Amino acid sequence: MSLLLRHIRLSLGGFSLEMDAEFHGRITAVFGPSGAGKTSLLDLVAGLRRAQSAFIQLGGQVLTDTVQGVSVATRHRGIGYVPQDLALFPHLSVRENLRYGCKSGGATSPLFGFERILEILEIQPLLRRGVTDLSGGEKQRVALARALLASPRLLLLDEPLSSLDLNLRRRILPYLARIRDEFHLPMLYVTHDRFETLALADEMVVLIDGRVAQTGTVQEVFSRPANLAVAGLFTVETVQPGLIVKTADDLVTVAVGSALLTAVERNLPPNTREVYVCIRAEDVILLKGGDSPSSARNHLAATVRSVTREGPFLRVEADCGFTLTVLLTRQAGEELALETGDRVVALVKAPQIHLIPRSA
């Protein structure tokens, strides 16, 4: 089911949200920093806010059209919403909270099946307990169940895992994946977490300062950020200015410092010369003790400048005519036994080098 957003303009004090977008994925990640307008977008779709200008259509139904004066009431939109604070009723039991979900959907037999929802989210043992007696992860599952019991056509999730620690997040993610796979229910999933996006979503929209910075599939957006602001959100570790010296078909040769790199880039504007060269740290392979044949076009002689432990990884800063950041697993780092001053070869495949025009 598609969600169409056109002529969106919402002003709140000194902040404004302005966008046009269309979503078709099972889970669309709404990605961006705090204050980007992500929650405001969900509120507009749910009918909880009124915009100065908006056209919102879900499937074949127009939900909001400020020009024609159309504004379908929130309870009639067929949308389930799990806000950041979960909005569970603390004075009611889990069972009573779930019954409220059934009532809000206007049906005693939920579209997805009461027992099936309890089974998938594993909350049958919680039914008699009070909400205040639940753990963070349990509250999250109850809030999801209540939203599903309203038989929605679209599910809105506003940073549903932000209040949970890392271990709880990893435990809740499979439940969200089961909802996606079992019910085929489209979702807008607000997050600023890269791992959640990669684990769940198939398309995404990046919001920065109330504007759409980029849309596309998750892999497209993460691997080819549209500009430096988006690249910064996704923690692209190496961003260096470069100068294009040769273009042949889709292969681009670019000078970065004293090094020459080959990249595959199909989307550069004509006559682009000055670019930023973006390389993810995990896309670099290090060899020690000499070069060897490989499928990578870029073999860069380098000197290790620093090695730093970061949890289960090692961050290596290497000088190869420019500063290149490399992220290794601890096992790989121990096998290489890297030390400051070591000579290494850095391998980078051409498709893993992304070029952004410096004017972008």
Task: State yes or no: pLDDT of 128 exceeds 90.
Answer: yes
Sign of CA dihedral 242, 243, 249, 251: negative
**pLDDT at 194 (0 to 100):** 81
For the cut 70, the answer to whether the pLDDT of residue 292 exceeds it is no
pLDDT of residue 113: 84
The predicted pLDDT at position 360 comes to: 53
Question: What's the confidence (pLDDT) of residue 223?
Answer: 82
Tell me, which fold does domain 3-228 have in CATH?
Rossmann fold (3.40.50)
pLDDT at 349 over 90: yes
Mean pLDDT of the chain: 89
The model's pLDDT over 158-175, given as tens digits with 9 standing for 90+, comes to: 998 887 877 778 888 888
- Same topology, domains 3-228 and 236-357? Answer is no
What's the pLDDT tens digit per position in 204-223?
A: 999 999 999 999 999 889 88
Per-residue pLDDT at 106: 55
Residue 244 has pLDDT above 90, yes or no: yes
Quote the DSSP letter at residue 172. Answer: H
Map out the domains of the chain as residue ranges: 3-228, 236-357
| C-alpha to C-alpha distances, 320 to 93, 189, 286, 309, nearest whole angstrom | 62, 40, 12, 21
Decide if pLDDT at 354 tops 80.
Answer: yes
| The pLDDT value given to residue 10 | 95
pLDDT in tens, 42-65: 999 999 999 999 999 999 999 999
pLDDT band at 330 (very low <50, low <70, confident <90, very high): confident
* Two structure tokens written together for 96: 């009573």
- Choose which CATH entry (3.30.2350.10, 3.30.565.10, 2.40.50.100, 1.50.10.10) describes domain 236-357: 2.40.50.100
Please report the pLDDT score of residue 107 as a whole number: 54
Burial (CB count within 10 angstroms: exposed 0-12, middle 13-18, buried 19+), residue 72: middle
What distance in Å separates the CA atoms of residue 79 and residue 57, rounded to the nearest whole number? 12
Residue 347 has pLDDT above 90, yes or no: yes
Q: What span, in angstroms and rounded, lies between the C-alpha atoms of 268 and 278? A: 14
In terms of Cβ atoms closer than 10 Å to its own Cβ (0-12, 13-18, 19+), residue 323 is middle
pLDDT interval class at 105 (50, 70, 90): low
In order of 98, 286, 302, 314, the CA distances from 335 in angstroms are 53, 11, 18, 12
C-beta of residue 117 within 8 angstroms of C-beta of residue 110:
yes
Q: Is the pLDDT of residue 280 over 60?
A: yes
68 pLDDT higher than 80 = yes
pLDDT confidence of residue 88: 92
- Using alpha carbons, select from 207, 214, 202 the residue that is nearest to residue 24: 202
| pLDDT at site 5 | 96
